[in-house]
């Protein structure tokens, strides 16, 4: 059954945001400073985006079939942990997978364990995308997520912003700038 794969993928995203060891810049990736922003570009995975220089690179991990790139928000009140995170996952879909069907399966799975707030079809980086907004389970709604699924053709992308409910809007403008700067470069 395919549901375990979806559950495993969302668990992977959660583990990534909770924190993994910091990775090194991978082959094909460049990082440049530009007017208070860091421009991350990865030719191997065909994308680039800008992020605020006060956000910290948590890690960059790569395999033959995916790349995960995670950032943490600036620390609040000398806190050890970040109150928000941003993740980009680029991956090569399994042969025969259809983007719309896979996203709909993910949305259906979200409805089971999370509170689906809104979802809509969008265009991001000139490509077909879904924007999904959801929060943790109704019994313990600690975080809120803004999740984009982007059909890049041979490579699919997910952009995920996760924050504590009480500060979600504090970073939303910065996150929207980061999301809007996302480009597919090939």
* 40-82 pLDDT, tens digit each: 999 999 999 999 998 988 888 999 999 999 999 987 666 556 6
The Cα 113–Cα 56 span in angstroms is 29
pTM of this prediction? 0.82
- Is the pLDDT score of 2 beyond 50? no
Q: Per the CATH hierarchy, to which homologous superfamily does domain 3-184 belong?
A: Mog1/PsbP, alpha/beta/alpha sandwich (3.40.1000.10)
Q: Is the pLDDT of residue 17 over 60?
A: no
Strand partners, 148: 131, 159
Q: What is the token pair recorded at 97?
A: 């997978």
pLDDT band, very low/low/confident/very high, at 125 (cuts 50, 70, 90): very high
> Do 93 and 103 touch, CB atoms closer than 8 A?
no
- CA-based nearest residue to 125, from 45, 35, 13, 30: 45
Pick the range with the lowest mean pLDDT from 12-21, 84-93, 161-170.
12-21
Domain chopping of the chain, boundaries: 3-184
Helix (H) or strand (E) holding 168: helix 168-181
All residues at 6 or more sequence positions from 143 whose CB lies less than 8 Å from its CB, including other chains: 135, 136, 162, 163, 164, 165
A 10 A CB-CB count for 66 gives 17
Among 91, 85, 13, 31, smallest CA distance to 56 is for 85
Nearest to 90 by CA among 119, 60, 110: 60
Q: Please give the Cα distance from 63 to 46 (Å, whole number).
A: 15
């Amino acid at each position: 059954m395919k549901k375990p794969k979806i559950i495993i993928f969302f668990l992977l995203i959660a583990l990534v945001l909770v924190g993994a060891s910091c990775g090194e810049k991978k082959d094909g990736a460049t990082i440049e400073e530009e007017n208070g922003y860091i421009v991350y570009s990865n030719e191997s995975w065909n994308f680039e985006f800008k992020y605020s220089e006060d956000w910290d690179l948590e890690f960059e991990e790569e395999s033959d079939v995916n790349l995960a790139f995670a950032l943490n928000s600036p620390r609040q009140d000398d806190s050890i942990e970040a109150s928000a995170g941003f993740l980009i996952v680029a991956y090569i879909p399994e042969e025969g997978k259809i983007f719309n069907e896979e996203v709909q399966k993910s949305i259906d799975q979200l409805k089971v364990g999370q509170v689906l707030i809104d979802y809509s079809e969008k265009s991001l980086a000139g490509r077909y995308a879904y924007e999904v907004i959801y929060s943790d389970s109704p019994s313990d709604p600690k975080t809120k997520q803004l999740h984009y699924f982007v059909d890049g053709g041979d490579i699919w992308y997910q952009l995920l912003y996760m924050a504590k409910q009480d500060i979600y809007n504090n970073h939303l403008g910065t996150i929207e700038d980061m999301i809007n700067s996302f480009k597919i470069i090939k």
